[in-house]
Amino acid sequence: MDIVRSSFGKNAKGEETTLFRISSESGMRVCVTDQGATLVAVWAPDRDGIFEDVLLGYEQALSYDRNRGHLGAVVGRNANRIGGARFLLGDQEIVLAQNDRGNNLHSGPDFWENRLWGAEEFPEEGSVRFTLHSPDGDQGFPGNADVSVTYTLTPDNVLRITYRGVSDKKTVFNMTNHSYFNLAGQDAGSILDHELQLFASGFTPAGPLSIPTGEVMPVEGTPMDFRTPHRIGERIGADFEELKYAGGYDHNWIIDGEAGTMRPAAVLYDPKSGRKMTVSTDLPAVQFYTGNMVHATGKGGQEYTARAGLCLETQYVPNVLNFERSDMARPVFEAGSVYTAVTEFRFSAE
């Protein structure tokens, strides 16, 4: 493995940032930056061995500092939405900022993606590890927390993301990566012809504000059933209330199998290029988002519009901190206990 660093320009605070390029002997390349511990590029081969960047993104740190769509971003301490921007942590009510129609989204508005992280390279392992100290009260969450995100590129074309966190107080850790993929290439336009399989028998309805209530609905007989592969555009406009609320897919699926063990979550395939991406994780759920609100100018001046890319964000079930049910894993960790989570993206072609 080879790791090369280069300047990625200054961020909005005037800090110098760095881009790290990890390359494997197969020719696959991954680029990450200490600006937000962000995933910037993924170069993967098609069926003819031609490499394309399959990740929506930008060419400089300053653009990631103004990244309204969270392209490539690491999200923490808590990914996704918390209803009413508040929840109980034991006997303590935790109140967060209301940055999404009265709710909290991605722990903002003081996002981790707008911070410069520490960085350490591990060339023998094909890894770059980013670290961040999140002080007590940061974003409203209790505890001095030290977190890390490690990106590893393996010789067999697997991009592994490993999350770790520990705090001196009971707190929440629910981190994810908000990358938008287009397996035809970041400048190829719509992902509606991609085929998706989700290893999930149920999803969590979210209503008009995209806040799950704790209900789990079987996918059978609905346009949310991806247990066998379906073209993404096939049913996205179906007469189904949840799709109308979100303007497409922007929902959480409960991954089949035992949370805490590595298992397949999704397979994404682009018939045009033959590229396939298999997503595996030890987390309980995955948010599938078809980029319904995307509008940005990205790499090479490419105009990203709605459905130019899609997200598969592995995480705990959104708003689970407010559920009365006790049969779902909660992202709550006692003082001194270590939070870890792993998600892998395996790239192949056929």
Q: What is the distance between the alpha carbons of residues 253 and 204, in angstroms, rounded to a whole number? A: 6
Taking residue 258's Cβ as centre, other Cβ atoms within 10 Å add up to 9
The gap from C-alpha 110 to its chain's centroid, in whole angstroms, comes to 17
The residues near 244 (Cβ < 8 Å, ≥ 6 apart) are none
Catalytically annotated residue among 52, 195, 242, 313:
313
Q: Are 341 and 283 in contact (CB under 8 A)?
A: yes
Q: Known catalytic residue: 178?
A: yes
Q: Which residues neighbour 151 within 8 Å (Cβ) at sequence distance 6 or greater?
A: 22, 30, 32, 39, 127, 128, 129, 130, 159, 160, 161
Euclidean distance between CA atoms 43 and 90, whole angstroms: 45
**112 close to 127: Cβ distance less than 8 angstroms:** no
DSSP 233-263: GGSTTSS-HHHHHHTS-EEEEEESS-TTS-E
Q: Is residue 285 within 8 Å of residue 316, measured between CB atoms? A: yes
Element (H, E) at 102: none
Angstrom distance (rounded) from CA 189 to CA 173: 34
Residue type, 172: V
Amino acid at 233: G
The question of whether 313 is a catalytic residue gets the answer yes
Q: Which of 70, 106, 178, 194 is catalytic?
A: 178
Q: Among all residues, which ones are annotated catalytic?
A: 178, 313
